[in-house]
Structure 1
Amino acid sequence: MNTLAASEDRRFLMEFWDRGVRLAKAGTGDLPGAARATALWQGGAQLRELKAGCPFVEYCPVAEAHERGEAVEATWAIYRTASARHVDHDLIEAAYAEPRLRALFPFHSHRTLHFSRCTGFPYTHDLPVIDPRPDGTYRVVWWHDRSPDGPIIREADTPHDAVALIIAYLPDRVGPAVVGTANDLDSLTADSP
């Protein structure tokens, strides 16, 4: 949880985080209210309980999906119905049709479609990325250095071909995305025999 004091007026700006995801935010000039929100959150309150006790708290349905452990499904649903220009719907549908990718957490960055083995930030960056090109083709690249300009695996003419390349280069150990961050996942991997 983060709380900051506004610089121009008496206002407390709050962010409620869990496992790498900002689930809710708030702004209030009410110090006792801010303290109550802090106590509720640190005491393990769910989002609805937090909102009931502190009406100034705001969150969206995706936050509730994260809280229920359904972030992967909710995020895919958002991308599949998004009207944003940067979302390549043919690519989203091609990736969603593949069960191994549908089990991963999808996210966009500068038009590129990424897949993470976890649902919180920082995301994993050890899987290939699909980069739609202005000419209508697709470039599949490694994202090891958190850059879409990583080493090119291959180029593809269609979204289905790009997805096939991703599948061909997915490591065997890749399973459904887990709740948490890449750091949490690294800890789990280090602790396992």
Structure 2
Amino acid sequence: MSTGARRAAGAGAGERLTHLDERGRARVVDVSAKPVTVREARAEGRVLCSPAVLELIASGGLPKGDALAVARIAGLQAAKRTPELVPLAHPVAVHAVEVDVDVEPDADEPGVRIRAAVRTADRTGVEMEALTCVVVAALTFVDMVKAVDKRTVVTGVRVTAKSGGRSGDWSVDG
């Protein structure tokens, strides 16, 4: 892999992508020698939608029902099933998942914000679980409102914080 490709993927100088072997083939990283530590990851994303959708949510008038509750449950379920969806993700013991789906009608771009926090005590982090939680919750919300608004947009999905493990703590705020 070229230096530019490593930088684009987020690897620094001298680092290599751990999910590739020396021949560049995908592999699941061996974490068996790593210590079990408490780890947490947080992620967020938004679904932009029309004010009409938000009004229907507030009045309970969406044709498919409570989009916020269904999206939240879908996110919880998705976090636990991440290794089935992301081929190189380790199956980790997910010990806690929190999902918030909040309506933001007064934002510059109206919609809903989805936030997830996933915790474990394991040998590897749960960033992929937090991201999967947010993405599946967002997709579920889109499915719930598409009859009313076919122009919804999922945006801004990112990890916002992680803690635990060898690389320590990190957040977008600092």
- Which TM-score band (shorter chain)? under 0.3
Query: Looking at CA atoms only, which structure, 1 or 2, has the larger radius of gyration?
Result: 1
Q: Which structure has more strand as a fraction of its residues?
A: 2
* Structure-2-length-normalised TM-score: 0.23
Higher relative contact order (CA closer than 8 Å, sequence separation 6+): 2
TM-score (norm 1): 0.21
Higher helix content, 1 or 2: 1
